[in-house]
Amino acid sequence: MPRKPVVPGVDRRQQILDAALEIFAEQGFGTATNKAIAERAEVNQGLIYFYFASKADVYFATSAYYTAQVIEQLDTVFAQVDEASPADGLAQLLSGIVLILSTPPASHLLRIMYQVAGSRIPVGELSNTEERRAITGLARHLTQRFREYLEARIARKQFNALNPTLVSHMLTRTLIATVTMRGQGGPSQPDLESLAETMAALYTYGLLPRAEQTYPE
């Protein structure tokens, strides 16, 4: 494949990260190669080693970079619904999160996260506990934001005093698992709006005080 000519102002490191995110999500760490990443980025393979020490270094750098991007998007969604009513706020929140998680770069990060979580190899380039833990940063941050959101609503007596830590873990795992499985394709895949609305209805029923709930006639 012909390489892109050097263009002033083009960030080659960014090109490599963009390509690496796709390759690692598609192939997994073990199967992916720096050669495949270089071809996708349309750069010389040697350029990868100019920026990164190894394939593992590319892997962790890619995860860290895009995790920070997605976290910023999630924080924006949480900020936007802070003053909304409890029922509407939860529906808007879940709708926004579902949209973010269902599209790149978050959808690619979720696939990478599942690959690492499912790895049973205790040694090798991905054996560093702290680096492996960093790959799950997206899920941990989402859980933390959910917990803060729930605690604030409970303090205002807008939500029932359920265990916010437990509920936040349930919300995060349900969202990530549902969105990831939806991305695998297959028949009868729910659209994103229906998915968010259904989750909001289920959780709102348990979180809202009975006096605040309304039912269809």
pLDDT the model gives residue 191: 80
- Find out if CATH 3.40.50.700 is the number for domain 1-52: no
- What is the CATH T-level fold of the domain 69-212, as seen in this structure? Tetracycline Repressor; domain 2 (1.10.357)
Three-state SS string over the chain comes to: CCCCCCCCCCCHHHHHHHHHHHHHHHHHHHHCCHHHHHHHHCCCHHHHHHHCCCHHHHHHHHHHHHHHHHHHHHHHHHHHCCCCCHHHHHHHHHHHHHHHHHCCCHHHHHHHHHHHHCCCCCCCCCCCHHHHHHHCHHHHHHHHHHHHHHHHHHHCCCCCCCCHHHHHHHHHHHHHHHHHHHCCCCCCCCCHHHHHHHHHHHHHHHHCCHHHCCCCC
Check if 1-52 and 69-212 are the same fold.
no
Q: Domain extents for the chain? A: 1-52, 69-212
pLDDT the model gives residue 108: 94
pLDDT the model gives residue 6: 47
pLDDT the model gives residue 126: 67
| pLDDT less than 70: residues of the chain | 1-10, 117-132, 183-190, 211-217
Summarised one tens digit per residue, pLDDT across range 97-116 is 999 999 999 999 998 888 77
Q: Is the pTM of this model over 0.85?
A: no
